[in-house]
Structure 1
Amino acid sequence: MRSTRLVLGAAVLAGTLIMSACGSSGGSTSSDVDTTVDGKGHTLTLWHYENDTSAMGVAWKAAIEEFEKETGAKVEFEAKSFEQIRTTASQVLNSDKAPDVMEYNKGNATAGLLASQGLLTNLDGAVKAYKWDDKLAPSLQTTTRYDSKGVMGSGGYYGIPNYGEYVEFYYNEDLFKKNGVKVPTTFEELEQAMAAFEAKGITPLAESAAEYPLGQLWYQLALMKADRDWVDAYQTYTDKVDFSGPEISYATETIKDWTAKGYISKSATGLKAEDAGVNFINGKAPMFFSGSWWYGRFVEEAKFDWSTGLFPGAKMSPGSSGNLWVVPTKAKEKDLAYKFIDITMSPKIQNLMGNHGGVPVASDPEAITDEKSKQLIANFNTLTDQDGLAFYPDWPSPTFYDELNAGLQELLNGTKDPDEVDKELGGLYQDGVDSITGGS
């Protein structure tokens, strides 16, 4: 699927061209943006990788229809898989095949990296013209702005989200009731529930170590021992991060312990996010810890009673603004791209997203009528109210997504112990950070 994992491997990075600085300078002004653009005879090329039944997929399909009606332009939509964009972004965006607007992951190692390479358009002028900054809470704007090194939180605008996201538990209520297990509300109850299911021969957690879910669980466990200063150090390089410290060592040791106890299957080493999600959809697993982006799909496909909840006992969880709409530097229809982004921020599209299980950034609360959607949005608001959005584990380094997955696979299959994994990951993390900051 999804949003938090879009990183560029070393082979891709080696092929990129000379970097150009980004930041607050160099952006267009609002007077340069045509907000009443006439699109007759023009075509907007759009890429995204959302499932048709997801909240974003439903909302963006409606946005395309609204856009064509309002502008007279045609939309050439190309559905791309996450892996297609992940492995080819730098080359494609540096060619005449670049789309006009596309969904892209946020963070230093992704949107920040491409912005620093001069591959994304500075959106300062469009933000002013359309007043998008008025619709985005300050905590959600962190991922929209990048400095000259591609570090988020300051500099120019290089992407616009129209939804939020976070990682939470999905519970198969029918399996809990059938097996006489209580849905947990504390960390102690969570471990008790996993033990109860394992005793009945049921693997409690649907997991994937080949892609992002296990890495996000690992990070969540680290957050149980962390504070905001640690998150800032990990994500924005305000201080050194000790991978042998209490946060990460606890996370790695807990994953190892849960695997040894049968709460996580060793077969997860070869499973992708889709495999884990489908295991939950098919009723095989009582719990799935993953993103809010699954919500709409579960509404459509899960044929059992289910509920959601924040990680028991957590004050912070993985989460942020949603993925960004970015406009490649080589886009041919930039004014149309800005208009499309604005339509996805309109009340009509925002409310539609909210009623299909999304977390809109500018909806009317009174227009959200679906009870499950209200629960989803309430959980997100709980996190934002307590400054609980802690971003994602792979963001700090261009290659850390793949490196984290590989390290956790070695942990699960027993080829490395927790100390060895932490030492290796710590070195790789620091190498990646140094590649962005120049070691400063």
Structure 2
Amino acid sequence: MKKKICAALLGVCMLFSMSGCSGAPSSVPTPTVSSSTAPQGEASVSEEPVTIKFWYSANESDPTDYWGVWHRENIKLFQEMYPNVTIEPTVIGDATQYLTKITAEIAAGNAPDVFQAWLFGRLTPFVEAGRIEPLDDLFEKYPEMQEIIPETSRVPGSVDGKVYALPCQSSGEVIFYNKAIFEENGFSVPHTYEELKEIVAKCNEKGIIPIGMGNDCVWLGSVPYSMYFQRKFGNELYNKALIEQQALFDSEEFIEAGQELANMVELGFFTPNANAVKAEEAQASFKESRAAMYIDGTWRAAPYYEALGDDLGFFNFPNVEDGLGSSSVWIKSFDGGLAISADSTKKDVAKAFYAFMFSRERQKAYGEYGALLATTGIELDPDKVNPITQELNEALGSTTESFGIWDNLLGTNLGAEFNKTTQAIIGGKDLAELFATLNKNAQLEWEG
């Protein structure tokens, strides 16, 4: 068993990606802090000088990267409240590189005290290896966490009934679009897949990139695949394969969806040579109005609004003719997980800092940057939250049916293999061979 876990820990490679290849976001409001923000019941978290290490991924060169700005504020404010504590950050801009490095540190037993983590199946191997500290005691020690973190936000980071990581944000995958480009060219938000194809064709005629994609960040190409799959085949086969873990990836439905992704490439849906394009380059094409649409996570709503203002809109992937799915079904998940190392020698201080980040006031500050919070009961100043974030909250909050991001649900190794499969489809590789390999890997992982 230990050999199997070590293999899982060491097997994470550069293709293993976190949702969002980089952080990013809006205007920076003044940070708020008060005595009530301090972990409750603690006059001092340490009487002696102590240093804790904190790792996360953010774009330090971008002053509007709200994930990075928020964490810098968290560090600054916590140290001001507790002068004996020094928080030593390590910030890695590229999320794929971050995950490679943090995985190696965790596997070696050298994980930082507090670190940005992942959730669902990707978390499990590290928990089973005894590398992650359970957090259940925090809910008793810091009552505010019990009040604002609902059960639904605890599930993604739970293993065998214990909580090991908490998400900072809820999220979804949507198609963002430039309203000005749509209006100038007479486009309407598509309600069917055929209508979307028509928009793509007209964009190509006019020299506009239809949908920006930088699939150098390998998970991005998996999203249109999973969106189309749901619209065409509904949720039954998805549930069997991804939830019940039946190895069915070589069935004709998965291959047919792969063929449609290949068709999208042939029809010019995406940035040319998308597999060689970095996410930041493709995002810039959308921000600069060179691309009409962009498929991305809701955590990027704030930077896109910063660039496009009221010209930014979004819609869900449209219905497919005779399909079993529906555009009323959204992709929903959780992101921005944080964890504490089980090997930390300063757990009391690490947990106090962790609780500080999940205090009501610090969550309020993060929400006012434009994040869709995973916490509840946080009163945000409506003047500080952009309209697109409010619309996303309403759309995702009102949906009665959703499905998760495939690579997260599939876990560390199989999720990476799925992303590699969709990247290879975009690169023109043989479909039957790709899905046979994916299914074989699923059999090995699920059936032993």
TM-score (norm 1): 0.81
The two structures, once aligned, show a CA RMSD in angstroms of: 3.0
Name 1:269's counterpart in structure 2.
275
Does residue 220 (structure 1) correspond to residue 235 (structure 2)? The answer is no
**Gapped runs of 5+ residues in structure 2?**
1-5, 14-38, 320-326
Name 2:426's counterpart in structure 1.
412
Q: Which of 429, 436, 443 is the equivalent residue of 1:423?
A: 436
Q: Which of 89, 99, 114 is the equivalent residue of 1:77?
A: 89
Q: Which of 372, 391, 403 is the equivalent residue of 1:375?
A: 391
Does residue 173 (structure 1) correspond to residue 179 (structure 2)? The answer is yes
- In the aligned structure 2, how far is the partner of 1:138 from the partner of 1:230? 27
- In the aligned structure 1, how far is the partner of 2:235 from the partner of 2:146? 24
Contact map agreement 1:207 1:271 (CA 8 A) in 2: yes
Contact map agreement 2:214 2:271 (CA 8 A) in 1: no
Name 2:402's counterpart in structure 1.
388
- In the aligned structure 2, how far is the partner of 1:249 from the partner of 1:96? 40
163-172 vs 63-72, which moves further: 63-72
For residue 193 of structure 1, report the CA deviation from its aligned partner. 1.9
Name 1:57's counterpart in structure 2.
68
Name 2:366's counterpart in structure 1.
353
Name 1:22's counterpart in structure 2.
none
Q: How does 1:100-249 map to 2 (within 5 A)?
A: 100-108=113-121, 110-131=122-143, 132-147=145-160, 155-210=161-216, 211-227=218-234, 230-236=237-243, 238-245=244-251, 247-249=253-255
Name 2:79's counterpart in structure 1.
68
Contact map agreement 2:118 2:336 (CA 8 A) in 1: yes
**What's the CA shift string for 1:168-221, capped at 9, x where partnerless?**
111122222222222334444323322321232333111133321111221222
Name 2:104's counterpart in structure 1.
91
- In the aligned structure 1, how far is the partner of 2:41 from the partner of 2:56? 23
For residue 244 of structure 1, report the CA deviation from its aligned partner. 4.2
- In the aligned structure 1, how far is the partner of 2:9 from the partner of 2:108? 18
- In the aligned structure 1, how far is the partner of 2:215 from the partner of 2:7? 17
Name 2:262's counterpart in structure 1.
256
Name 2:412's counterpart in structure 1.
398
For residue 413 of structure 1, report the CA deviation from its aligned partner. 3.1
- In the aligned structure 2, how far is the partner of 1:11 from the partner of 1:366? 39
**Gapped runs of 5+ residues in structure 1?**
1-7, 16-32, 148-154
The residue identity in structure 2 corresponding to 1:327 is I
Greater percentage in strand: 2
How many residue pairs were aligned? 399
Contact map agreement 1:398 1:432 (CA 8 A) in 2: no
- In the aligned structure 1, how far is the partner of 2:246 from the partner of 2:188? 40
Contact map agreement 1:318 1:389 (CA 8 A) in 2: yes
- In the aligned structure 1, how far is the partner of 2:73 from the partner of 2:392? 22
Contact map agreement 1:327 1:337 (CA 8 A) in 2: yes
Contact map agreement 1:123 1:157 (CA 8 A) in 2: yes
Assess, with a 3 A threshold, how the Cα gap between structure 1 residues 106 and 67 changes in structure 2: closer, same or farther. same
- In the aligned structure 2, how far is the partner of 1:240 from the partner of 1:145? 22
Name 1:13's counterpart in structure 2.
11
- In the aligned structure 1, how far is the partner of 2:275 from the partner of 2:167? 32
Could you say what secondary structure the match of 1:142 adopts? helix
Contact map agreement 2:9 2:125 (CA 8 A) in 1: no
For residue 433 of structure 1, report the CA deviation from its aligned partner. 3.3
Assess, with a 3 A threshold, how the Cα gap between structure 1 residues 355 and 116 changes in structure 2: closer, same or farther. same
- In the aligned structure 1, how far is the partner of 2:306 from the partner of 2:438? 38
**What's the CA shift string for 1:368-418, capped at 9, x where partnerless?**
3322221232233134xx1414233353142234423432333223231x3
Assess, with a 3 A threshold, how the Cα gap between structure 1 residues 305 and 214 changes in structure 2: closer, same or farther. same
- In the aligned structure 2, how far is the partner of 1:113 from the partner of 1:251? 30
Percent identity reads 19
Assess, with a 3 A threshold, how the Cα gap between structure 1 residues 122 and 227 changes in structure 2: closer, same or farther. farther
Name 1:150's counterpart in structure 2.
none
The residue identity in structure 2 corresponding to 1:299 is Y
Contact map agreement 2:134 2:164 (CA 8 A) in 1: yes
- In the aligned structure 2, how far is the partner of 1:366 from the partner of 1:86? 32
Name 2:350's counterpart in structure 1.
337
Q: Which of 282, 299, 318 is the equivalent residue of 1:312?
A: 318
- In the aligned structure 1, how far is the partner of 2:443 from the partner of 2:290? 39
Could you say what secondary structure the match of 2:412 adopts? coil
For residue 269 of structure 1, report the CA deviation from its aligned partner. 1.9
Contact map agreement 2:70 2:366 (CA 8 A) in 1: yes
The residue identity in structure 2 corresponding to 1:177 is E
**What's the CA shift string for 1:48-97, capped at 9, x where partnerless?**
11335233333333322332233332221110232333223343125564
Could you say what secondary structure the match of 1:205 adopts? strand
**What's the CA shift string for 1:128-165, capped at 9, x where partnerless?**
32343543333332211013xxxxxxx21110112211
